Amino acid sequence: MLAQQIAAKYGRALFELAKERNLIDVAWEQFNALSEYLGKDKTFMDFMAAPQIPDSQKHELMTKVFGERLTHPIFEFLLVLVDKHRMNFLPEIIEEFDRLVRIERGIVSAICITTAPITPEEREKLIDRLARKSGLKIELEERVDELIIGGMIVIFQNQIIDGSIRYALGLLRNRLMKTKVH
């Protein structure tokens, strides 16, 4: 719960800073790259979260690693996280920032689960149908799960549209179980 509260507070502050300085595109790009880096190398976050390491050494590392790579306001934001001992929440803060940018741009994620990869034509049709339904831009993530037997499951805006054969067989099974045979 604390991580969510901190992420919401700092993510919102970062978003407002980026918006105020007309840096949303740059910040979004830089934080996506930073998130990718953090996903690959846990040692950086371990170092930054270690309470026994003085803030001065953390500032020094931040300057060496990101001083020339990030725009000044974004770099300063990271230093504030160091000073406030909030660096261990950086992944959650980046997620919150990303969520706010997506809302601002009208971008929604959808997940499509099938037993085999869908064709580019099927992908475009699905994206088009979801975009028309919602009026938003759709980013489609595809997943393959052979356990659904066939058909498709779409997870979109807190809805699950289950058109899988597994689901249909389950419904049929339930109906048959309720049927009384004389």
Q: Terminus-to-terminus CA distance in the chain, angstroms?
A: 55
pLDDT band at 1 (very low <50, low <70, confident <90, very high): low
pLDDT band at 80 (very low <50, low <70, confident <90, very high): very high
Q: Comparing 181 with 15, which gets the higher pLDDT?
A: 15
pLDDT band at 88 (very low <50, low <70, confident <90, very high): confident
Which among 25, 4, 1, 2 has a CA at the least distance from the CA of 93?
A: 4
Structural domains in the chain, sorted by start: 2-103 (1.10.520.20), 107-178 (3.40.30)
Query: What sign does the dihedral 66-68-69-70 (CA atoms) show?
Result: positive
Identify the pLDDT of residue 20: 93
- Encode pLDDT of 111-166 as tens digits: 999 999 999 999 999 999 999 988 889 999 999 998 888 889 999 887 888 888 88
Identify the pLDDT of residue 159: 86
Q: Comparing 177 with 143, which gets the higher pLDDT?
A: 143
- Dump strand ranges (E) for 18-164: 107-114, 137-144, 151-156, 159-164
> In this structure, are residues 110 and 140 in contact, taking their beta carbons and an 8 Å threshold?
yes
- Encode pLDDT of 28-69 as tens digits: 999 999 889 888 888 888 888 888 999 999 999 889 988 888
Identify the pLDDT of residue 173: 86
Identify the pLDDT of residue 134: 87
Q: For residue 30, what are the contacts with CB-CB under 8 A and spacing of at least 6?
A: 69, 70, 71, 74
Structure tokens at 108: 């929604």
Q: At what angle do helices 90-105 and 42-49 cross, to 10 degrees?
A: 110
pLDDT band at 181 (very low <50, low <70, confident <90, very high): confident
User: Given strand 151-156, what is the order of strands in its sheet?
Assistant: 137-144, 107-114, 151-156, 159-164
